[in-house]
Structures are given as C-alpha cells and as structure tokens.
A = this chain, B = another copy of it.
Amino acid sequence: MKLTTKGRYAVTAMMDLALHQSEHEYVSLKSIANHQEISVAYLEQIFSKLKAGGLVNGIRGPNGGYRLSRSAETISIFEIIDAVDEPIDITRCHGKKDCQDGEVCLTHGLWTDLSNQISSFLDQLKLGDIVQSERVRKVAARQSMRCTETQQTQHVSFT
C-alpha cells in the first residue's frame, strides 16, 4: 500500500463523517469540504473509491450526502487508505519472488516485513479509536465553528 495526500484526505474525510453523521442523516461533501479545506470535486473522486470499497453509502439530491456503511469501530485506517490509494508492492520484484534468475532478490524479505508491519499497524487502528480521542473531539468542535474561510493551499510533500 501507498501513503499519499489522497489517503490522508480520505481518512480525514471519514473522520468528519463519523463525527457529523449523528447531526445530519447524511453528510454532504460540501460540508466536509468546508471543514477540511478540500475541494468538493476532489472529495467526489475520493468518495467514489470509498463507495466502491463499500465503506460509505451515498444518496443524491437535497439533504443527500454520505454515511459510514458500518460503525466507525469496525472500519480500520488500513481499509480507508487501501480503498483510495493504488495498492503497490514494496518489493522490487512485484512479489513474484523470481526477480533474479528465478530466485528472490537480496532484500525481498526486508521489504515484505516492512510492508506487513505498516499494514498491521494501520489495520489495528480503527476509525472509532481515533474519533474517541479527546484531542480529536476538541479540534472537531473548533472546526465546526469556522466553516467558511479563505482557502489555504496545502503544499504536501508525502507522496
């Protein structure tokens, strides 16, 4: 798996859903866009993948929007990132194990170990855990108050 801004946006947006879907039946992308300073168009792209991954349900029209398809406690961060970022394998030989003369490459095991390490960490972490945390609740409360402000361009460097 890969970690890009798209993946981070996805996690942030899913947290926004988890935090606000008690207030409104469905949460619109517009409101998420306001909270998180991501364009609606880009959120659409992200949510089409989240929907394809079965993580959210969407309905159209006025008062429409999205909901989590399951409880936040059962959705892992891994699932979210995995749904939006292209899967990649960290190994040089694409997991084929025959990158060099039909044998595994020198560092094959190292990269698969690392990959597993990251995946398992993110899979243990549930959306619900993060939403629970006190700090997140505070930030969310603050964000609710300031929904329309000048957009800052975020120059993000993690690809």
Given contacts A139-B100, A143-B100, A157-B89, contact A107 B8 (CB under 8 A): yes
> Is the pair A139, B106 in contact by a Cβ cutoff of 8 Å?
yes
> Is the pair B146, A89 in contact by a Cβ cutoff of 8 Å?
no
Chain A count of residues within 8 A CB distance of the other chain: 48
> Is the pair B106, A12 in contact by a Cβ cutoff of 8 Å?
yes
A134 to chain B, nearest CB (A): 11
Give the number of copies in the complex.
Answer: 2
* Alpha-carbon separation in the docked complex, A135 to B139 (Å): 49
* Stretch in A43-51, A54-62, A115-123 with 4+ CB within 8 Å of B: A115-123
> Is the pair A104, B139 in contact by a Cβ cutoff of 8 Å?
yes
Residue A33 CB within 8 A of the other chain? no
* Alpha-carbon separation in the docked complex, A11 to B114 (Å): 13
Query: Chain B residues with Cβ under 8 A from A100's Cβ?
Result: 37, 139, 142-143
* Alpha-carbon separation in the docked complex, A135 to B107 (Å): 10
* A65-90 interface (Cβ within 8 A of B): 77, 88-90
* Alpha-carbon separation in the docked complex, A109 to B133 (Å): 10
Chain A 11-43: CB-based contact to B (< 8 A → 1; otherwise 0): 110011000000000000000000011000000
Query: Chain B residues with Cβ under 8 A from A139's Cβ?
Result: 100, 103-106
Contact of A110 among B11, B99, B109, B159 (CB under 8 A): B11
